Amino acid sequence: MPTNLDRYKTDLDSLAKLGEKMQLDLNGRHLVETGKAKPETKKLLEELKGTFEREYQNWYTQAGALIRQLIPDRIVEFQELYKGDGKRKATTSQTYHIQDWLNGVRSGTQYTGEKYYDDFAIVTMRFSTQMAILQAVRTRFESSLHDIQQLVQADLFDSELDASRELLKSGFLRAAGAVAGVVLEKHLAQVATNHAVSTRKAHPTISDFNDLLKAGAVLDVPAWRNIQRLGDLRNLCDHNKHRDPTKDEIEELISGVEKLTKTLF
């Protein structure tokens, strides 16, 4: 059975290959336009043309998720190469970003006919830097200093959720929900640690973590409400003696917790 570490490696390899194809598209355009492309490669480069624009958003989303999980200290830099920091007052060579290129924004021209700045070169450079950041993830895998705590924890969460499903199949609804609730609480605790969100409470609850992460801008309102709902279902299993949880509610709880452990970091 593949581990989360195996899945991360597979995703990284796939993203690296796609990124290299996108880089070849950008570099190939430059070679063709400057007349430096070899005759035997012109056809391939023409076939690749447009790959960068077609694939970038998908690549950016998946690469960002990997970077956020494995080298979170580089995620802001990675994102700003795409969209900047949102503080620019004018579009210049310093403030032009990949998002501008994808939105069709191009540099104006001076009275001499030359561009104010080389927008294509800027995009190529910024994407090259993003690729370098992604490649740094591989170093984390190979380095003896790589902290695999969260990867191991993710595997444990998968095992605990499998146990929760088995309890559900056997009709132990409250027990199944309680196990899923413990996974949710532990995962939120890890997310809070990742984002340096702390609490003075000795034993914070799901609700405590949820409110803290929302206050820290880690969660938006829809995500906060979703976790609030999952917390209510967990409490129904642990505390509410007036009625038993339903099978559908426990299935909702388990599925919701599993999704969070895979998407919220």
**pLDDT tens-digit series, residues 227-245:** 999 999 999 888 766 788 9
Structure tokens at 197: 């969100």
CB 27 within 8 A of CB 36: no
Comparing 156 with 29, the larger pLDDT belongs to 29
The pLDDT mean for the chain works out to 87
In this predicted structure, the answer to whether residue 249 has a pLDDT above a threshold of 50 is yes
Question: What is residue 4's predicted lDDT score, i.e. its pLDDT?
Answer: 60
Question: What is residue 144's predicted lDDT score, i.e. its pLDDT?
Answer: 43
User: Would you list the domain boundaries of the chain?
Assistant: 4-142, 149-263
Question: What is residue 145's predicted lDDT score, i.e. its pLDDT?
Answer: 45
DSSP 183-234: HHHHHHHHHHHHTT---S-SS--HHHHHHHHHHTTSS-HHHHHHHHHHHHHH
Digit-coded pLDDT (tens) for 109-133: 888 888 899 999 999 999 999 999 9
In this predicted structure, the answer to whether residue 148 has a pLDDT above a threshold of 60 is no
Question: What is residue 193's predicted lDDT score, i.e. its pLDDT?
Answer: 86
CB 224 within 8 A of CB 214: yes
**Location of structure tokens 């069709």:** 104
- For domain 149-263, the CATH superfamily is Nucleotidyltransferases  domain 2 (1.20.120.330)
Comparing 257 with 200, the larger pLDDT belongs to 257
Question: What is residue 48's predicted lDDT score, i.e. its pLDDT?
Answer: 85
Tell me the CA end-to-end span of the chain in Å, nearest whole number. Answer: 23
Give the mean pLDDT of 68-78. 89
In this predicted structure, the answer to whether residue 99 has a pLDDT above a threshold of 60 is yes
Closest CA to 166 of 184, 180, 182: 180
CB 176 within 8 A of CB 162: no
